[in-house]
Amino acid sequence: MREIYIKENESGQRFDKFLKKYLSEAPGSFLYKMLRKKNIVLNGRKATGSEKLKKGDQVKLFLADETLEKFTGKQETAHSKKKLPKIQMPVVYEDEDVVFYNKPAGVLSQKAKPSDVSVVEYLMEHLLETKALRQDDLKTFRPSICNRLDRNTSGLITAGKSLAGLQKLSELFKDRTLKKYYLCLVKGTIDKRAHICGYLQKDKATNQVRIAKQAGADAVPIETEYVPVAWNQEITLLKVHLITGRTHQIRAHLAWQGHPLLGDPKYGDPKWNRKWNGRMKTAQTRQMLHAYELVMPEMNKTLKKLSGRTFTAPVPEDFYKIIKEITWEHGTQEVLEVQH
């Protein structure tokens, strides 16, 4: 027999959902049979699996040790012991519910294949090292990131440490009540703010997107706002408000407007990229795009500590050096205010 007490991060979910995580190798038919036969009980009583769990609830599993080992032993309950490569990923903000990192370019937000190392693995390592979570907690709760950045986009990436933090932060991104701002270097002169709209269609075969004025099959509406920070006759530093947050939205939307990002291998201007690469001391090897700022909405319950606050991530060294190398004709003072 095994006895389990429900913790904060396990509360609020259906009992059968919890059991499917804890006994992840067991078929659903087995779990429901054990519930019917009272071999699995909740607070000493027969349960159906539809009950909502609360912190402190008692779960008893009247199962043989061999059965428990069979249905829990194969699952990956712990963070991998594999040594992660050392990277600089500063914590911008952290409390008991969330953590915000300044992700460097070159790091995946989430795994694309099992052998990948992503922000999620560094998150797990951080939480275990700081004792925010124990290995055993990972059986039934998996902390995760709440927004995604392209591998070669740097900047603010957020994660939920608790179930409440994960759910609330994900909700804020989904309903767009928090504001996301990026810095990028683009081709050409932009000297006025703009609010642009369009429709984005993803090509899964090429992992690229297309932008159109009119709605089409599988196309989704997009909105992007931007304001120039500094510019000259050839290049502009933009602050972009990402309103809808679709795949490659900033990169593709600005390229569609005739202002591709410096260094962008998918949507950029190869000839222009080569020209700038040859001209500058600091070589650009990626798209010059950085998730710079998050502005939180007013909140009075979950994540109240974050209510109305603004969080910024300093631009990385490669981006900063390019900004400082360029001779700006307008907006020099604003460029100097881009913190590093």
The CATH number linked to 37 is 3.10.290.10
For the cut 80, the answer to whether the pLDDT of residue 296 exceeds it is yes
Query: SS3 of 255, please?
Result: helix
DSSP string across 112-123: SSTT--BHHHHH
Domain identity same for 268 and 311: yes
Together in a domain, 145 and 192? no
Residue at 293 is within a domain: yes
221 and 246 both lie in a single domain: yes
Check whether residue 110 and residue 49 sit in a common domain.
no
Is residue 217 located within the same domain as residue 280? yes
Q: How many CB atoms lie within 10 A of CB 256?
A: 19
Looking at per-residue confidence, does 188 or 332 come out higher? 188
Tokens 């990002």, residue?
261
Mean pLDDT of all residues in 329-340: 68
- Domain containing 24: what range? 2-72
Same domain for 161 and 198, yes or no, is: no
CATH classification of the domain holding 219: 3.30.2350.10
The answer to whether residue 79 is domain-embedded is: no
Total number of domains constituting the chain: 3
Cβ-based neighbours of 105, under 8 Å, separated by 6 or more: 151, 152, 153, 154, 286, 316, 318
The owner of tokens 């500058």 is 280
Distances (CA, A) of 20 to 8, 142, 337: 18, 14, 51
Mark whether 153 and 192 lie in a shared domain: no
Is the domain of 292 the same as that of 224? yes
Among candidate residues 143, 174, 205, the one where a domain is terminated: 174
Dist. CA 6–CA 8, nearest whole Å: 7
* Boundary of a domain, candidates 122, 144, 174: 174
Split at pLDDT 50, 70, 90, the class of 76 is very low
In a domain, 30, yes or no: yes
Tell me the mean pLDDT in the region 70-78. 62
Whether 78 maps to a domain, the answer reads no
Is 39 in the same domain as 149?
no
3-state helix/strand/coil string of 18-86: HHHHHCCCCCHHHHHHHHHCCCEEECCEECCCCCECCCCCEEEECCCHHHHHHHHCCCCCCCCCCCCCC
pLDDT class of 77 with cuts at 50, 70, 90: very low
235 has a pLDDT exceeding 80: yes
Q: What is the pLDDT of residues 160-169, one digit of tens each?
A: 999 889 999 9
Instruction: Say whether both 183 and 286 belong to one domain.
Output: yes
Task: Classify 313 as helix, strand or coil.
Answer: coil
pLDDT recorded at residue 140: 85
Task: Collapse the DSSP code of 176 into the 3-class scheme (helix H, G, I; strand E, B; otherwise coil) and give the result.
Answer: coil
Q: Is the pLDDT of residue 337 over 90?
A: no
241 and 118 in a common domain? no
Q: Do 116 and 253 fall into the same domain?
A: no
